[in-house]
A and B are shown apart, each in its own frame.
Chain A
Amino acid sequence: KAGVTQTPRYLIKTRGQQVTLSCSPISGHRSVSWYQQTPGQGLQFLFEYFSETQRNKGNFPGRFSGRQFSNSRSEMNVSTLELGDSALYLCASSRDDGYTFGSGTRLTVV
């Protein structure tokens, strides 16, 4: 069965730009959550979507946003990029008690 697909795998952006990351969950999974991983802060929860509704949001500024489509695919957007946004962004697809992660998108802001 297909796993969680995140695109793109790598991205280099300039400060001030915006970026959109995509996550396609496992078929049948309706919950998608996003995480930011940095060496300094570790893994931090960004937000979670279920049936196109945001159910939970982490402690991140409003520049970080997301959405989920009717087919459960999710996107996250970061506007006005800052150097500190450089990180590995992971999404997880979940159903019941299991979480399956994608390979992540490594974003570098220069």
Chain B
Amino acid sequence: AQKITQTQPGMFVQEKEAVTLDCTYDTSDPSYGLFWYKQPSSGEMIFLIYQGSYDQQNATEGRYSLNFQKARKSANLVISASQLGDSAMYFCAISIIQGAQKLVFGQGTRLTINP
């Protein structure tokens, strides 16, 4: 079974600062993918970034980067130069690559960007 732990229920950050959202995972499968999603108050889940377990380099997508530390089973999301529009819930999720397509989510972190 897979498990995701997000230990920060809420975070408050000043606009333009960088922010790191923590995520640790647990799985016995060697082949897996890690995802980060943003969920604004409207409810839609917006894909941010993906890291495969065999990827050698940390993933980056614009202002988003993933600090992947495989030995520590950690996949922290880093948002550089935060903006007011970044205020939302952020979810870390894991999926096993082989077999049925299923995401296991963490409890999420509510990020608030202050002007």
Contact = CB atoms under 8 A, between A and B. Distances in A.
B103 A45 contact: yes
A102 B45 CA distance: 7
Contacts of B102: 33, 45, 48, 56
Interface string B25-49: 0000000010101000011111100
B74 interface: no
A101 B107 contact: no
B50 A97 contact: yes
A99 B47 contact: yes
Contacts, number: 63
B104 interface: yes
B47 A50 contact: no
A99 B108 contact: no
Contacts of A104: 43-45
Interface string A82-105: 000000101010100111111110
Interface stretch (B14-22, B65-73, B75-83, B93-101): B93-101
Interface residues of A, number: 23
B90 interface: no
Contact of A42 (B33, B44, B105): B105
A97 B91 CA distance: 17
B47 A98 contact: yes
A63 interface: no
A40 to B, nearest CB: 11
B100 A42 contact: no
A90 B44 CA distance: 8
Contacts of B50: 97-98
Given A56-B100, A99-B35, A101-B37, 10 more contacts: A42-B106, A42-B107, A45-B102, A50-B101, A55-B100, A55-B101, A56-B102, A88-B43, A97-B50, A98-B50
Interface of A: 31, 33, 35, 42-43, 45, 48, 50, 55-56, 88, 90, 92, 94, 97-104, 106
